[in-house]
Every structure is written in structure tokens, then in C-alpha cells.
Structure 1
Amino acid sequence: MSAINKVLFIAPRFHTNQIGIVKALLNEGVEVEFHVLIKGPTEDYAVLTPIKIEEGKFSRFLSKFLKTQKVNKYYAFPSFFEYFNTIKNFNADLIIIRDPGRFFSIVSTIIAKLLGIKICFYTQETLEIEAKNTFRYFFQKFYKTIFHAEWITPIGGTDTRIKKFLPFVVESRFDYLNETSAIEGYSSEKAVAVIGKFTARKRLIWALKLAQEFDCKIKIIGENTTKEHATVYQELLEYVEEHNLGDNVEFMCNLSHSRTLKELSCSNFFLLTARNEPASISVLESLSVGIPVICPLECGTSSYLTPEKTGYTYRQDDYDDLKNKFRRLLVHVSEDKKIRVECLNSSAENFSEQAYINKFNYIFKRE
């Protein structure tokens, strides 16, 4: 057994899906630091404020030659010696490194190895990626071996040959259920909630088409902070006007995390229209406030659903399949008043703080 009292997270940014994990460790008495390269305008720092690590001079020089479409400063990294001292001063027992191929992650891994800190890699890949990509499998096995590291993933619901499953954390919110009288269940006056940045990949136009075809209410909770967001948002507004959907569709921009949860809790269900979504935390947040979900089968967090009990999945590029599942869930939530309790019970059992800590202690043999 090992004593893990201090944990350091390394990631490009402090994503919403890490909030519950950090909170669970803090409540367990573990000291946590979170190092990032980027701070976003809508991130929630109520639990912990991440430390922004500045990009080094050599990294800025290399960036002139490494032109890439990869997001979140994929090739950026800090000054090695300065960052060595930063990690050394925190004196972590465990370092959890997101996406080990990033330059920031590579530098962090080397420093952790030199300092003798236990290393754990963290990725959000589906089981299919590991199973089908032989090169990736052998590379990850080699990387894990040479650094004597653990490897965890919150995707898939089961351990793989390389990775151990460690769930996301989103606490059940029975208080939201009571505050909003959501236990009353389905109402034609309530909307279907859709959450996503105003980008092409989120495919929010599909939500508008469903509102039009089923004559139902849709509320789109989106982030509108960039030029791309503004462009897509304007296109959606024009579609609403062109098809006379003003009474069916409501847009809500740049809401706080707590306000988003409250909006979810008084919805009929949550709809995810995005394609290539690695791990939507909104799926889990919806279940945690008693709201069933419909999302693509290819979404990483679809594994947290119990089919036909807490939600439905559809083939991500098949609009007709989505339309069919949307119709079925509309009927389901209108007839089954127990579905919200099913969702809450599922969240308590599968991705609560206690579920996370139990598996964390098992993986890292923590006392």
C-alpha cells in the first residue's frame, strides 16, 4: 500500500469534466494542484484555481515553425529548468498527465521520472481506438513500461489491456430535483436541453430541425466567445427566423456552470447533437439532476447510460436514427415518471465521489 497525499494534474486546460474528480480528492484529504497552459473564459474555479504555466522561450521559437491545426497549444511547453523546480517544490506523490503525446506532457513526464514521482497517464479514448489501432496499442504499452506508469481512462466502463477505468465524478443533485419540482416529470411546456459551443462540430442545426419536425421546445445553452461562435450563432438565428421557430427555440449564451445545471434540471431530457465528441460531461450532469439523455453511440460517455432506462444512443452520422430515438424518448419521458429517479440512482452508483475514490484507492494501492 502507498501513501498518496499530494496529486498534481497536468493538462492543457481545466476542463469541466475534471471538477468533480478534483473535488472528490480534496474531500478525501488529498492536496491537489492543477497545472495548465490555457485558462478559458467560462471555466469554473469554485473548487480549485489552476496554475497557469507560462510557455518557455524555446517553445515560442519552435512555434514559428510548427504550424498546426491542433488545439490547446499542442506543441507548447515551459522552460525545462524553471518547470523542474515548480514540480519539485510541490513534491507530489502522484502526477496525472493528460494526453502524454503533447510536448507539455512529455516535459512533465521526464521531470516526474527524474524526481521519482509516480506517473499516471490519462486519455479519453474509446475501446474501439485501442482495439483497432495496433501501432497505438504497442506504442502506449512501450510508453507505459519505460516510465513504469499507470494509465487511466474515464471512457468505456471497463479496464482494457493498457488502461484502467476510473470514472468521471458528478454528484447526484436531489436538491435540484426538489427545488424545481422536476419530479413531476414530463411537461409539454418544458424544453429539451441542448448544450454546446456554437461550432460546426456541435451540429446544433439538428436540434432546430427536430424542434421543427416534432413541434417541441428546445433550449440551446451555448458558449459564444469567439468569431466562429458568433458566425454559427448568427446562422442558427437565421434558421429560426426563416422557419418561424421563435416559439420553439430559446438560446441561452455563456451561462455559469451552476445556472446550466439548474436549466438542465427543469428540462424534459438532454440532447447531444455533436459528432466526434470524446467525452461529454453534460451527459453525466444530466443524469445527476434526474434528466435522461440521448447522445451518439460514438460519444465516450455514452457508456454511462443504461439503454432504454436512462437514455438512448444513436449512430452519430444518421439523422434518421436520431429522429427515431428522439421520438422514442419523447414518449418514454411522458409515460414513465420513475425515469428521473432511475437517472439519479445511476449517477450515485456509477460516477459518485465514493465510486471514484474506491476505484482510485484500488488502482494506486492507496492506504
Structure 2
Amino acid sequence: MRVLYVAPRYHTNQTAIMKGWLSRGDEVCFLAQYAGKLEDYTIIKPKVIGYSSFFILLNNLYVKIIKRTNEYAINMRLRYGFPPVGKLYLAMKKFSPDVVITRERSVYSIVVTILCRINGWPVILYNQSPLMEESKKDILHRIMYNLTPKYRITPVYRSKKNSQCKDPNAFFLPFLMEPHISPEDKEYFLEGYINLLCIGKYQKRKNHLLMIEVVERLATKYPIRLNIAGEVSDSFQEDYYKTVQEHLKEHHMGKIVTLYKDLTQAQVFELYKKADLFILPSSEEPAAVSPLEAMSFSLPVISGDDNGTATYIEEGKNGYIFADKDAADLYNKIELIISDKRNIQKMGRKSFELVIEKHQFENYYQTITDIVQQINN
């Protein structure tokens, strides 16, 4: 099978999918709108298609002048970015795909969908809207649904909202993850400490300061250390990174908390190896892959309930879910695990078992081929 992905960027969380296709002898091509700063291109290197010249002009005006104080202004390209249609079509035509998987409901994916319909290429939408979501039937949403693929895959099962229903053409496909360190090979409590780990860009919504506040309290009772690793790719993130640094100095936490920035994937994996418990304190997290990465290293995990992949955690078995931005609840959930070191090893084993059971390529492959068959029929 010839599988074509068209997405804003190639994300490292897609590595297991790429490996899965290639191990079967399938051909994979990845067309990206832009290249990420810290992605791992060992398995596959995307071809960057970019945006039309006119959109680049508008985007620069919007990001650098109109919304220059808004750190999220750059995300406008994800929804409204317009491709260089000729360049995009030639790349798609040259590959001649058996199936196209495009990312998000956006102007870019509308163009991709139209090109697929003209050429008879089966096309599937991948986004991170929950499988169980509120039905939106206003005119704008109906137009968008008609212009983008009928069939959809998502790694998110449900949101916190009520009044949800399942689209019969939507399929739940959780993130895939290679197993990295089995419980038998995992070393816990290095240097006599309980080692906590957080990973996420240096942004306010990642709630690093809340995490540090909780660790400061826990450190009076338990021998803990916290490593925080994140990306700093713009001036807004740099400013926030400095804010976190200053907070650590003011609270004399330098010996308990260590900050890392802009690590490679290999360096991040080294942090997973040294950790005993992974915590994702973030808010507004559509679908974080880091808890699943931690599970593949035989770590128990804790996530806020404002994360789309929090459902990958089986509460009380391989971790816990805490109420968003609730420092007291986060404190309690961490203490439930670290108060007895046996919990860490037992839950870490369950995490690894869940990765093997629910996050391997076979289910992904079967679902994609079933959808392609439905489209072709």
C-alpha cells in the first residue's frame, strides 16, 4: 500500500506509525506545511510543501504586526494556511497514493480533499477532536464537513462535556508507542530519590509553576527530585522559561528542580529512563503523547483531566487523573503513588502492559484498511 500523509508538520509521536507501515513493506510519503524544530527524522523525512506566497505575506502581517503580542497568533496558519496548489498537487500525483490521511479541518485539508476527490484517491481525516463530541449542525460546520473527508480517525475518545454523540464515520485510534524499557529492565529510585518528570513546551498553560509549588510541599516529606524538560522556540517561551528560573531561585528550589530546554529525542528518552513517575500538569491539552511515552518506559503516570489522552490512564492501576489546575488534588494524587515505593513499580509494570496491549500498529493498520475498503465500496 502507498500511504500519503499531509499535515502541518511531522511529529515525533508518528514514529511508531511510520515504522509500522515500513515494517510491512508499504511505502510512505509525508508532506508537511513546515518543519518542526526538534523532530526526529530518523525513520522518515517529510517533504515541506509550505504555503502560497500570498498567504505567507498575510501571515507575516498578522503575526509580526497585528498580533505581535499574542504568542498563539502563529497558529492561524494551522486553520487558514493556503497551500501552493500546483506544488502540492504535483507531489501528490508523483506519489500516486492508495490512501491519503490529512490533518485537521482547515483550508489546507479542504484543498487536499478536493484534489483527492478529483483523482479518486481515498482520503481520511485525522484530528484530535473527541470521538464522542457534541454534534454541530450550523451552516458553517455543515459546509466544513462536506468539504473535508467523510471518514475520521482520532486518538481522543471523549471530552469532559455532556450531550455527546458518536459520528458513525469516526474511529478511535489511540496513539501508537514502541515499548522502550520493560519492568524487568527498569531501574527505579536512582541515587536514593523518587525522581519525578514533566515534559512540555515552556508555556503558561503547561502549569510548571503549579507543579513546582506541589513539589515544594512534597519535598518536606519525601526524598524527591523533579526534572522539567521543554521546548523554547520563540520569545514568548523564552520569557516564560526565565520566569520559571526566577521562581526556583526565589524559593531556593535549585537543588530539587532541574530545568532542561530544547533536548533531542534521545536526550528526552534518557530522562524517562532515570524517572520514577511522570506527571503532565498541563491545561488545554488536546492530546498529549508524553504520558504514553512515559508508560513505554514502565513509569506510572499522572495527568490533568484537561488532556485528551488522560483516558489512556487506568486510575488506580497505572496512575491517576487530577482536576485541572487543582494543586491540592495533584498533591494528593502524587502522594497516593509515592507514599509506598511498591506502588511505583507495580503501576509502572501496568503502564508497560497497557502499551503492549492497546498501542501497537496492528489495530491501526486494520482500521485504516477497513476505512479504505468502505470508501472504495
Shorter-normalised TM-score: what interval? 0.7 to 0.9
Match of 1:346 in 2: 354
Change (3 A) 1:176 1:20: farther
1:164 is matched with which residue: 137, 158, 171?
A: 171
More displaced 10-residue stretch of structure 1: 335-344 or 205-214:
335-344
Q: Counterpart in 1 of 2:28?
A: 32
**270-279 or 81-90, larger mean C-alpha shift:** 81-90
Q: Deviations 1:140-176 (Å, cap 9, x if unpaired)?
A: 6775566663211111189932411112110111369
- Whether 1:58 and 2:54 are equivalent positions in the alignment is yes
Match for residue 260 of structure 2? 252
Q: Which amino acid aligns with 1:207?
A: M
In the other structure, the counterpart of 2:154 is 153
Q: Which residue of structure 1 aligns with residue 214 of structure 2?
A: 210
Q: In the TM superposition, what are the counterparts of 1:1-367 in structure 2 within 5 Å?
A: 5-63=1-59, 69=73, 71=75, 73-74=77-78, 75-101=80-106, 103-127=107-131, 130-131=133-134, 133-135=135-137, 149-156=150-157, 160-161=166-167, 162-174=169-181, 178=185, 181-182=186-187, 184=188, 188-215=192-219, 216-331=224-339, 333-335=341-343, 337-365=345-373
Q: Contact 2:130/2:158 (CA < 8 Å) preserved in 1? A: no
Which AA in structure 2 matches 1:160? Answer: K
Name the TM-score, length of structure 2 as normaliser. 0.86
* Change beyond 3 A, Cα 1:332–1:348: farther
Deviation string for 1:241-286 (max 9, x for gaps)? Answer: 1111121111122221122122112211101111000111101101
Q: Is the contact between residue 101 and residue 126 of structure 2 (CA under 8 Å) also seen in structure 1?
A: yes
Distance in 2 of aligned mates of 1:202 and 1:148: 32
C-alpha distance in 2, partners of 1:134/1:16? 32
- Secondary structure in structure 1 of the residue aligned to 2:13: helix
Q: Distance in 2 between matches of 1:209 and 1:251?
A: 15
Cα deviation 1:263-320 (Å, max 9, x = unaligned): 1122111011110001111011011110011001221111111111111001213222
Q: Deviations over 1:63-101 (max 9, x none)?
A: 477667251623222222332222111101111110122
Distance 1:146 1:231 in 2: 40
Moved more, 69-78 or 305-314: 69-78
213 and 84 in structure 1: CA distance in 2 versus 1, 3 angstrom threshold = same
Secondary structure at the counterpart of residue 121 of structure 1: strand
Q: Distance in 2 between matches of 1:57 and 1:223?
A: 28
The structural deviation recorded for 1:202 is: 1.0
Q: Answer with 29-38 or 74-83: which moved more.
A: 74-83
Q: 1:168 & 1:356 partners in 2: Cα distance?
A: 9
Aligned length: 356
1:338, distance to aligned residue in structure 2 (A): 2.4
Q: 1:47 to 1:79 in 2, by over 3 A?
A: same
My pick for the range that moved more, 357-366 or 245-254, is 357-366
Q: Tell whether the 8 Å contact from 2:231 to 2:262 is kept in structure 1 after alignment.
A: yes
Higher relative contact order (CA 8 A, sep 6+): 1
Residues 35 and 146 of structure 1, relative CA distance in 2, 3 Å threshold: closer
Residue pair 1:218, 1:248 contacting (<8 A) in 2 also: yes
The answer for unaligned runs of 5 or more in structure 1 is: none
Q: Say whether the 8 Å CA contact 1:202–1:274 is kept in structure 2.
A: yes
On the 8 A contact 1:177/1:289 being kept in 2, the answer is no
d(CA) in 2 for partners of 1:311 and 1:187?
Answer: 23
CA distance in 2, matches of 1:108, 1:35: 11
Q: 2:105 and 2:372 mapped to 1: Cα distance?
A: 19
Does the residue aligned with 1:313 lie in a helix, a strand or coil? Answer: strand
Distance of 1:312 and 1:152 partners within structure 2: 26
Q: Distance in 1 between matches of 2:181 and 2:272?
A: 13
Query: How far is 1:336 from its partner?
Result: 5.4
Cα pair 2:228 2:260 within 8 Å, conserved: yes
Sequence identity percentage: 26
Question: Conserved in 2, the CA contact under 8 Å of 1:177 and 1:290?
Answer: no
Distance in structure 2 (CA, Å) of the matches to 1:72 and 1:328:
41
- Residues 350 and 141 of structure 1: CA distance in aligned 2, closer, same or farther (over 3 Å): farther
2 CA distance for matches of 1:82 and 1:213?
56
